[in-house]
Amino acid sequence: MEYSIKEYLDNQKLLIDNLLHDCIDRLTIPEQLKQSMIYSVNAGGKRLRPILLLASFNVYGKDNSIAMPAAASLEFVHTYSLIHDDLPAMDDDDYRRGQLTNHKAFDEATAILAGDALLTYSFEIIANDHQLNHEQKTILLQLLSQTSGPKGMVAGQILDMKAEDHPVTLEALEQIHALKTGELLRFAVYAGAYLGGATEKELQSLTEFAYYLGLIFQVQDDILDITGDENKLGKPVGSDEINQKSTFPKLLGLEGAIEKKQWYIEKAKRSLANANAADSVLMDLTIYFSERDH
């Protein structure tokens, strides 16, 4: 099982890497912009969001080529958010996954524009895809703009920034991560399942699932920042403590955070069962996310 999910992830990652490369490669745009977009798209992401989207599609549908544009689009939105997050005015990171961040490899202006370009292009990919009908495009674009925009991911980023200055409640911390991480995961599972033909009730349950999956993802991030192996993580541990960041272990203690994670996993499992996806790869991915060591 441990091996097979890893093999699955590796295969899907390869598929998505090729897809993303093709999407950018076909653009006829100024070379500097293209290089800057390619640089961050190729910067070693695990492609968890598009993998989740395709996995969700496969619970309900067969030929997942129709889900490819949405998968690419989602990863481009994620990439844009990382480029802007890393900027000096935001997290001011020089490295991400062991490579120079976009504004360090190029310059700040180019990084801002590469982020803007990736965000805008993500909408174009869905709007222009020839496999999707107009209604499918509308549903996907509604969902993408909601989950990534001022009511979704961007709201999470603003709230996260403000939370750096002062301690927050567990409820507030959950809200931040639900918006900053959970909303794009919602796009992933909802868009995939919708294109695969899931029912309205199944889509509702998957929306719940995405919420808990985002929290599982984040609580594990916080736990790894305390117990993780720096070599596997590729970044120093203990940085949350130094940065006085609000985390689950800080609010609940390490044991409490681990218990909370278990509770989120139970909720996620129940949501998957309600979505008729209890025995799907989505379950395996949930366990994988919750146990990951990097």
Q: Residue numbers of the site for its own copies (CB under 8 A)?
A: 27-30, 32-34, 37, 80, 84, 87, 89-90, 103, 107-113, 115-117, 119-121, 123-124, 127-128, 133-135, 137-138, 141-142, 144-146, 148-151, 154-155, 157-159, 161-162
User: Using CA atoms, how far apart are residues 1 and 160, in angstroms rounded to an integer?
Assistant: 36
Nearest CA-CA partner of 121 in 77, 170, 63? 77
Q: Give the Cβ contact number of residue 164 at 10 Å.
A: 12
Q: What is the largest CA-CA distance in the chain?
A: 53
Q: Which one, 63 or 135, has the nearer CB to its own copies?
A: 135
Nearest CA-CA partner of 119 in 93, 144, 151, 90? 144
User: Using CA atoms, how far apart are residues 69 and 226, in angstroms rounded to an integer?
Assistant: 37
Q: How far is the CB of 180 from its own copies (least distance, A)?
A: 12
Nearest CA-CA partner of 114 in 29, 13, 51, 19? 29
Q: How far is the CB of 294 from its own copies (least distance, A)?
A: 28
Q: How far is the CB of 104 from its own copies (least distance, A)?
A: 13
Q: Is 113 helix (H, G, I), strand (E, B) or coil?
A: helix
Q: How far is the CB of 122 from its own copies (least distance, A)?
A: 8
Q: How far is the CB of 118 from its own copies (least distance, A)?
A: 8
Q: Which one, 146 or 276, has the nearer CB to its own copies?
A: 146
Q: Which one, 173 or 277, has the nearer CB to its own copies?
A: 173
Give me the DSSP letters along 245-291. ---HHHHHHHHHHHHHHHHHHHHHHHHHHHTT-TTSHHHHHHHHHHH
User: Using CA atoms, how far apart are residues 51 and 231, in angstroms rounded to an integer?
Assistant: 25
Q: How far is the CB of 175 from its own copies (least distance, A)?
A: 10
Q: Which one, 34 or 267, has the nearer CB to its own copies?
A: 34
Q: Which one, 153 or 265, has the nearer CB to its own copies?
A: 153
Q: Which one, 154 or 273, has the nearer CB to its own copies?
A: 154
